[in-house]
Amino acid sequence: MNKIEKIELEKSVKDLTLRNNEIKGLILAENSLGNAEKLDAEYQANEIKITDAQNKLNENKNGEIKMTKYIETKNSISDFMTILKDSNNKAEVANKWNAKLAENGLEIKDESLVLPTRLVSSIESALTETNPVFKAFKVTSVGALLVTQGLDSSDEAGVHVEGTEKTVQSAVLTVDAISPAMIYKIQTISERAKQLNTNFEEIYETIVAELTQAIVNKAVDLALVEGNGTNGFVAIANEKDAKKVKKITAAKYVDGIEDAVDFVRATAGIKYLIVTATQRKAILAEVRALNANARVRNLDVEIASEVGVDELITYTGSKALKPTVLVDQAYHIDMKDLTKVDAFEWKTNENAILLESLSAGKVEKFAASAVITVAGK
């Protein structure tokens, strides 16, 4: 039963029930036995129709409950992985899985793959847990053109004196748009199944871990360094609007960070310092040199406190990142929901799973970030 059929049945039950309530009153008020019998016959016929419609709705509901229970079980994961391992191409995977769902009370009426709930939930939760930098971004899942706008005005608010003309103040509405691009990761199943001896629990956990890790890591790299405006992202390092991102050159890390913090200070939100492990070590050395009488411990919280930020994050990627101070939620990433069934495709003639996300990213606020270049580093 599709949604339209369900809505029509529910409306029919409602309308027939209202009509029968009306008939009850008409029968009581009717003086003619013949007319009363006709009304009673209509009432009885409506009751049969109501019962029939309710039975169909209950059957559909029971089918949905059965399907839901199966999708949420470990058996659905095991069945799904068995089909992946034993199938040779996309069509075979889809046919076998749809047949398995039909056995458990779900009829597929479109070309989408309905995935086991546990696999979907694992992917969804892993998205926000696999990279320490990711939490600093504002993340949505619209999957559409990412547009940011801001009202830029250097004029102060005026005070109007009665009898004088109000001064017209200048303001420029800036609109930046970035088209989303696809971030994807393919993981072969047959090779992984051999490595894990067909342990289905490990297979699905490995898929979740590797695919989500790769996609989130790529999104972070695009947001910090790689985004060039043509790949769905404009990286913080490549942002040309000096009112949003300040490019700082300094002789020492601590001096550059101080300048960066001053730039973003007026913007509300947690101030993060994002650095590589090598940069973190150098910053710690500089901080300790400035505090000869009190040794600063090798803790993120102490380093952050010494340089004037709220939190220090160590970047775990491999790109050429410069120390970056970023205000929380000031960089906006839109990643179309990875749990949507159309986000999973099967590479033709290969036993592989493809996880992808239509994504875009851009700095969204003024005084949002600063990128630091240290001479000779």
Instruction: Tell me what pLDDT residue 354 has.
Output: 56
Parallel, antiparallel, or unpaired for β 369-374 and 324-327? antiparallel
Q: Which residues of the chain have pLDDT under 70?
A: 1-5, 7, 59-69, 72, 84-85, 87-91, 106-130, 141-211, 336-357
152-173 pLDDT, tens digit per residue, is 444 444 433 445 544 443 444 4
**174 Cβ neighbours under 8 A, 6+ residues apart:** 149, 150, 151, 152, 241
What type of residue sits at position 137?
A: F
Instruction: Tell me what pLDDT residue 162 has.
Output: 47
**Pairwise CA distance, residues 126 & 140, whole Å:** 15
**304 Cβ neighbours under 8 A, 6+ residues apart:** 273, 310, 311, 312
DSSP β-bridge partners for residue 314: 275
**131 Cβ neighbours under 8 A, 6+ residues apart:** 213, 216, 217, 220, 316
Instruction: Tell me what pLDDT residue 24 has.
Output: 83
**Pairwise CA distance, residues 60 & 96, whole Å:** 23
Residue 111 contacts residue 94 (beta carbons within 8 Å):
yes
Instruction: Tell me what pLDDT residue 169 has.
Output: 38
| The three-state (H, E, C) secondary structure of the chain, written as one string | CCHHHHHHHHHHHHHHHHHHHHHHHHHHHCCCHHHHHHHHHHHHHHHHHHHHHHHHHHHHHHHHHHHHHHHCCHHHHHHHHHHHHHCCCHHHHHHHHHHHHHHCCCCCCCCCCCCCHHHHHHHHHHCCCCCCCHHHCEEECCCCCEEEEEEECCCCCCCCCCCCCCCCCCCEEEEEEECCEEEEEEEEHHHHHHHCCCCHHHHHHHHHHHHHHHHHHHHHHHHHHHCECCCCEECHHHCCCCCCEEEEEECCHHHHHHHHHHHHCCCCCCEEEEECHHHHHHHHHHHHHHCCCCCCCCCHHHHHHHHCCCEEEECCCCCCCCCEEEECCCEEEEECCCCCHHHEECCCCCCEEEEEEEEEEEECCCCCEEEEEECCC
What type of residue sits at position 23?
A: I
Instruction: Tell me what pLDDT residue 213 has.
Output: 74
**207 Cβ neighbours under 8 A, 6+ residues apart:** 119, 187, 189, 192, 353
**Pairwise CA distance, residues 220 & 66, whole Å:** 40
Instruction: Tell me what pLDDT residue 200 has.
Output: 52
Kindly report the CA angle at 275 between 271 and 281, in degrees rounded to 5?
120
**Pairwise CA distance, residues 132 & 121, whole Å:** 20
Instruction: Tell me what pLDDT residue 344 has.
Output: 38
**Pairwise CA distance, residues 176 & 82, whole Å:** 47
CA-derived radius of gyration, the chain: 31
Where in the chain are the domains? 3-71, 178-374
pTM more than 0.85: no
Residue 333 contacts residue 223 (beta carbons within 8 Å):
yes
Instruction: Tell me what pLDDT residue 186 has.
Output: 57
**Pairwise CA distance, residues 135 & 310, whole Å:** 14
DSSP β-bridge partners for residue 363: 331
**Pairwise CA distance, residues 229 & 14, whole Å:** 54
Instruction: Tell me what pLDDT residue 353 has.
Output: 53
